[in-house]
Structure 1
Amino acid sequence: MESILRAAGELLDVELSGPVDLGGSSRSTVLRCATPDGGSVIVKAFGDGPESLRAFTAEAAGLSMGIAGPAVLGVDPEVPLLVMADLGNAPTLADVLLGTDRAVAEAGLLAWARGLGWLAAASVHRRADLTRLWTRYDKGLLSWGEEPWIARRAAELPVLLDGAGIAVPPGLAGELARIGTAGGEEYPAFTPGDTCPDNNLLTPAGLRLIDFEAACYQSVFLTAAYCRMPFSSCWCVFTLPAGTAAGIEQAYRAEVVGVYPALADDEVWQAGMRQATAVWTVDATVRMLPRAGEDGPLHPTRRPAPTRRQVLRHRWEMASALDEFPAFAETMRALLREVAGAWEIALLPGYPAFGSSGAGGSIRTSVDESTSE
């Protein structure tokens, strides 16, 4: 911590003090540090492993685009670390969803969906900027936009199914090949990468995003799927009222149809959303099923938190209705019968702010409505 504090102070040419550890991850250390003028800054330092170095490049390049997140005050590619403006202690979307105020939770969800949609629309013509900034901070690793993670996950699923004793239905290989083509080439837009509830601050000035460790350009459908599933790759996963989930999805869509008019076509939109749902279900299955032998909360400290098995069963139930991919849907039903059927677990409940049932409620919006500020 002392070496990080010293390097960040030299970068800003000030003496930083009083570091407070904000948690970080296995890839990074995040500190809030006091400045001589009585203010504070956020220092984020990264390890020297490949994933840590890629996370540094993505964070530095993504934030330096200046269209989302805190302002970058300095970057040291050698440590590596970056210093950011401190956005304060505003509640996160996770805080309000796990709270007790339904109106606050609905307002937070709308701010999140509209903010992500606005970011996608504002970034469409700036892909070259991210490429240039990635080159500036490059550590010799593929960007997330170049990394074929979707195709790799799709290729890993049959091996996992075989190990779990699940018979692969005819046609699954072809459907997984189709699913594996989803990504950034059709309707691409910028995303910080990890748009989970705890990475979204609900400040008095509006939504502010943090954690750009997976910043890239990807299909807007992969981001929009977070509204429908909800939160495709996150720990803070409970169920939303159907009307609320549909409302935030429409709020996101309303922002992106301005730059991609074809997305106003329901057939185009629904097909893209179904494929994105399949992508994230494959990802969740490959990541979590091998570790589902011993179930437990997905977050080490936050409560409530769902268990790995609860989230997997919820994902499989949703994907079992993807009639566009019949072999894949049958595979999900087989996982529900032969794997989840042996799990003695409670159904995934609703977010506390909406009551445990997750039923009822709606957020009204329209794809013709633009809410950009």
Structure 2
Amino acid sequence: MTSAGPHAERTQLVLDTLEVASRLVGTRLDAVGAPFPGSRRTLVVRATGEAGDAYVVKRYVGEQGAETYAREASALAALAGRARTPRLVAECGDPRLVVMDDLGEGPHLADALLGGDADRAASGLGGWADAVAGLHVAGRTVREAFVAGVGDRSGEALVLDYLPGQLTDAVTEWDRLAAALGVEVPAGAFAVLGSVPSRFRVEAASLSAADMCPDNNLVTDAGLALLDFEWALWRPIAWDAAYLRVPWPTCWCAWSLDAAAAEAALARWRATVSHTWPEVAGADFDDDLDLATEAWAWLAGSWCLGPLVDGEPAPTNPVKPMPRMPDRTLRFLRTAAAGRAIPELADVARRLAQTVTTTYAARPVPLAPAFAAGVLR
């Protein structure tokens, strides 16, 4: 007797998930098309009810399912009606899943960046900035609800902001990587990365979706809506704004951006949030942006360089074309080498960048195809 193959197992998982979701919403749900292509952590299915109403059902199946379910369901519940996010229709803790409104099949920002229209890409960046600003302004009021929701759904005390821990881990990782590349670094030099969270000058924090990447959104008639709150957390808003400067430190669609378009989008974001946090319009926040940008460069640079040093195969996905890892690593190190916020590591970054260039034939990350192919009007 042979066991069921992966396809049969996934088909059964879809059926089981829709059965639970149907009970939650009180109508039979039928799948529409194949499950969304996604990560191993989730199963995402578009479904319709008997009255033709449309939903998206998301089930958390990976090892981190308890945490990602708790963070996403809590964020969506806390934000209900306050920001452009899917409406949480129903949820279940066993099995862990959420049912959300289906916002449609529109494009996302990554589609625009990978296309051939520079103006459309620039407009998409502006829409992303507007949506993130809206999230920050709305999210500032939901901290207690989010924290309580995460605790109730996870049954344990999760770290509200896990980024400081990641920076602490990066200290040890960069010591390892520099040694592996033969780049001499003064003892304890990378320890400064652990102090970054305490160095922000402007007190402006809010709920963040964490991975607000070019494909984690949907362009709708009402504007760009943010999706995917699996890793939602509470942190200084400078971390999210710096996504336009690094750019896209946690994302596959990490092509370079047209500088003028990125700065215009950032200006739109600042204009909106400065009504709530006036200091965001000032020089202190300029310093915070530099700090977040360089810290992201060091953190994301360690994530990219580690697999290269360890000889791991480069990830490939024809549906999600991404820049080469050596090129991304080089860009992060050149960003860190600016040293406006972390001058202690500027020379280290320059020497690491030179070594990465010669060792891995790294070169500058190309512009996103839309900006490479078109001319902004």
1:283 and 2:299 matched: yes
* Pairing partner for 1:132 from 137, 148, 153: 148
Moved more, 107-116 or 320-329: 320-329
SS in 2 for 1:61: helix
Separation in 1, partners of 2:262, 2:153: 37
Aligned length: 358
How far off its partner does 1:136 sit?
A: 2.8
Output the amino acid matched with 1:115: A
* Pairing partner for 1:10 from 4, 23, 26: 23
Question: Is the CA contact (8 Å cut-off) linking 1:257 and 1:264 kept in structure 2?
Answer: yes
How far off its partner does 1:146 sit?
A: 5.5
* Pairing partner for 1:23 from 37, 52, 66: 37
Aligned position for 1:210: 227
How far off its partner does 1:345 sit?
A: 4.2
How far off its partner does 1:32 sit?
A: 0.9
* Pairing partner for 2:330 from 306, 313, 321: 313
How far off its partner does 1:91 sit?
A: 0.2
Separation in 2, partners of 1:161, 1:186: 34
SS in 1 for 2:215: helix
Moved more, 322-331 or 67-76: 322-331
How far off its partner does 1:206 sit?
A: 0.9
Aligned position for 1:43: 57
Separation in 1, partners of 2:145, 2:74: 9
C-alpha offsets along residues 104-151 of structure 1, whole Å, 9 cap, x if unaligned?
111111011021112112222321121122223124251442564344
How far off its partner does 1:286 sit?
A: 2.4
C-alpha offsets along residues 141-182 of structure 1, whole Å, 9 cap, x if unaligned?
514425643442343222332233221136724522322546
How far off its partner does 1:38 sit?
A: 2.4
1:234 and 2:251 matched: yes
Using a 3 Å threshold, how does the CA distance of structure 1 residues 246 and 300 change in structure 2: closer, same or farther? same
* Pairing partner for 1:269 from 285, 294, 316: 285
Output the amino acid matched with 2:17: I
Structure 1 unmatched ranges of 5 or more = 363-373
Separation in 1, partners of 2:279, 2:337: 27
Separation in 2, partners of 1:361, 1:178: 40
Aligned position for 2:344: 327
SS in 1 for 2:286: helix
Moved more, 158-167 or 139-148: 139-148
Separation in 1, partners of 2:163, 2:361: 37
Question: Is the CA contact (8 Å cut-off) linking 1:60 and 1:82 kept in structure 2?
Answer: yes
1:247 and 2:264 matched: yes
TM-score by length of 2: 0.87
Question: Is the CA contact (8 Å cut-off) linking 2:330 and 2:362 kept in structure 1?
Answer: no
Separation in 2, partners of 1:25, 1:185: 35
C-alpha offsets along residues 1-28 of structure 1, whole Å, 9 cap, x if unaligned?
2211111111112211235301231211
Output the amino acid matched with 1:40: A
Separation in 1, partners of 2:321, 2:195: 36
Runs of 4+ in 1 over 4 A off after TM superposition: 182-185, 293-299
How far off its partner does 1:223 sit?
A: 0.3
Question: Is the CA contact (8 Å cut-off) linking 1:201 and 1:209 kept in structure 2?
Answer: yes
How far off its partner does 1:252 sit?
A: 1.1
Separation in 2, partners of 1:184, 1:288: 29
Moved more, 30-39 or 193-202: 30-39
Separation in 2, partners of 1:143, 1:35: 37
Separation in 2, partners of 1:223, 1:74: 28
Separation in 1, partners of 2:163, 2:119: 39
1:120 and 2:120 matched: no
1:257 and 2:274 matched: yes
Output the amino acid matched with 1:311: R
Moved more, 53-62 or 286-295: 286-295
Question: Is the CA contact (8 Å cut-off) linking 2:202 and 2:280 kept in structure 1?
Answer: no
Structure 2 unmatched ranges of 5 or more = 1-13
Output the amino acid matched with 1:83: V
Using a 3 Å threshold, how does the CA distance of structure 1 residues 146 and 18 change in structure 2: closer, same or farther? closer
* Pairing partner for 2:357 from 313, 329, 340: 340
Question: Is the CA contact (8 Å cut-off) linking 1:169 and 1:330 kept in structure 2?
Answer: no
Using a 3 Å threshold, how does the CA distance of structure 1 residues 85 and 228 change in structure 2: closer, same or farther? same
How far off its partner does 1:52 sit?
A: 2.1
1:88 and 2:104 matched: yes
Using a 3 Å threshold, how does the CA distance of structure 1 residues 247 and 257 change in structure 2: closer, same or farther? same
Using a 3 Å threshold, how does the CA distance of structure 1 residues 270 and 342 change in structure 2: closer, same or farther? same
Separation in 2, partners of 1:146, 1:229: 20
1:70 and 2:83 matched: no
* Pairing partner for 1:53 from 24, 47, 66: 66
Separation in 2, partners of 1:189, 1:306: 31
Question: Is the CA contact (8 Å cut-off) linking 2:56 and 2:99 kept in structure 1?
Answer: yes
Separation in 1, partners of 2:219, 2:156: 35
Separation in 1, partners of 2:37, 2:319: 12
How far off its partner does 1:73 sit?
A: 0.9
Separation in 2, partners of 1:64, 1:291: 37
TM-score by length of 1: 0.88
